[in-house]
């Protein structure tokens, strides 16, 4: 499937397609208590241009990483980086729909998904991705969450853009209800949003006005006025061997 042209332009030359940073990704990876030298199977869902894929590969240097995305354009960008860093013998890209993971049961020690689970919805992702995780394997997801009681403006915007946005406590309850062992969470710092929106804004300057641009600008303005209300939050959990 090809990426819509407008998105191609809006995100051009960006290392991240959502709020995040190498520091935050590494902080999340550091929760994993597998030996860094182990030969693990790792799945990165909604990899985009793959900043987090490369960090996973560099951290777990004997592991195999499968990076999946719906759009070939992003996978090609990641393939170039895989070649540049000579990781082609253990990092693989694959065009695949996160709703329909084409892997056997219990295939991965780690399933990682940064700012992508919202596409199918957090609860459905928790339910469906568990199948491909080994017992005691880690599922790590960054997910948009309320970090305080939101303003009317924030609530109104996210009600239509991502209705599953919820408080951290409710997200943790969903994780536990799905039978995972909840390990920890942390909130992404504001600078992760600021750098993402800074890059997006500068790309948008050159683009024609249309409904996509209006929507991006609305999202950026909302964040600038309500940055204490919500953030991406990394949730770290394990698949229990006894479920
Ligand atoms: C917000 S971006 C996050 C990308 C990357 N993880 C990051 O943080 O920069 C969401 C990604 O999910 C991909 N995506 C959208 N729908 C998908 C689907 N149904 N299955 C797999 N990937 C999908 C998009 O192409 C995009 O790369």
Count: domains in the chain = 1
CA distances from 159 to 152, 205, 225, 226, 239 (A): 10, 27, 17, 15, 30
pLDDT for 6 equals 81
pLDDT of 243 strictly over 90: no
pLDDT for 210 equals 82
Cα 115 to averaged position of ligand 1 atoms, centre (Å): 8
- Closest listed residue to residue 80, CA positions, set 98, 59, 53: 53
Cα 242 to averaged position of ligand 1 atoms, centre (Å): 31
- Closest listed residue to residue 10, CA positions, set 199, 240, 188: 199
Provide mean pLDDT across the span 221-234: 98
From 46, 102, 117, give the residue whose CB has the most ligand 1 atoms within 8 Å, as the site to mutate.
46
Give me the half-sphere count of Cα atoms (radius 13 Å) on the Cβ side of residue 171: 29
Q: For 117-158, how does the pLDDT look when each residue is reduced to its tens digit (9 = 90+)?
A: 999 999 999 999 999 999 999 999 999 999 999 999 999 999
Residue 122: CATH number of its domain: 3.40.50.150
pLDDT of 207 strictly over 90: no
Residue 151 is part of which domain span? Answer: 5-225+233-239
Cα 69 to averaged position of ligand 1 atoms, centre (Å): 6
User: 21 versus 8: which is more confidently predicted?
Assistant: 21
**Ligand 1 pocket list (CB less than 6 A):** 16-18, 20, 46-48, 51-52, 68-71, 74, 97-99, 114-116, 119
Residue nearest to atom 10 of ligand 1 (CA): 116
């Amino acid at each position: 499937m090809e990426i819509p042209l407008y998105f191609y332009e809006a995100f051009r030359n960006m290392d991240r397609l959502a709020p995040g940073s190498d520091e935050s990704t590494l902080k999340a990876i550091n929760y994993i208590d597998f030996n860094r030298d182990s030969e693990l199977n790792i799945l990165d869902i909604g990899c985009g241009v793959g900043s987090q894929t490369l960090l996973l590969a560099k951290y777990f240097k004997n592991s195999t990483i499968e990076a999946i995305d719906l759009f070939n354009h992003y996978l090609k960008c990641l393939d170039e980086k895989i070649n540049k860093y000579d990781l082609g013998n253990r990092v693989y890209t694959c065009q695949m729909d996160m709703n329909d993971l084409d892997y056997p049961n219990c295939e991965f020690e780690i399933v990682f998904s940064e700012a992508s689970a919202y596409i199918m919805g957090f609860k459905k992702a928790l339910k469906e991705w568990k199948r491909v995780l080994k017992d005691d394997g880690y599922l790590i997801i960054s997910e948009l969450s309320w970090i305080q009681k939101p303003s009317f403006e924030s609530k109104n915007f996210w009600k239509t853009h991502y209705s599953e946005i919820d408080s951290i406590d409710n997200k943790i309850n969903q994780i536990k209800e799905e039978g995972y062992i909840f390990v920890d969470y942390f909130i992404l710092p504001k600078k992760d949003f600021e750098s993402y929106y800074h890059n997006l804004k500068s790309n948008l300057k050159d683009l024609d006005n249309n409904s996509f641009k209006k929507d991006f600008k609305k999202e950026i303005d909302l964040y600038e006025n309500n940055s204490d209300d919500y953030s991406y939050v990394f949730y770290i959990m394990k698949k229990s061997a006894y479920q």
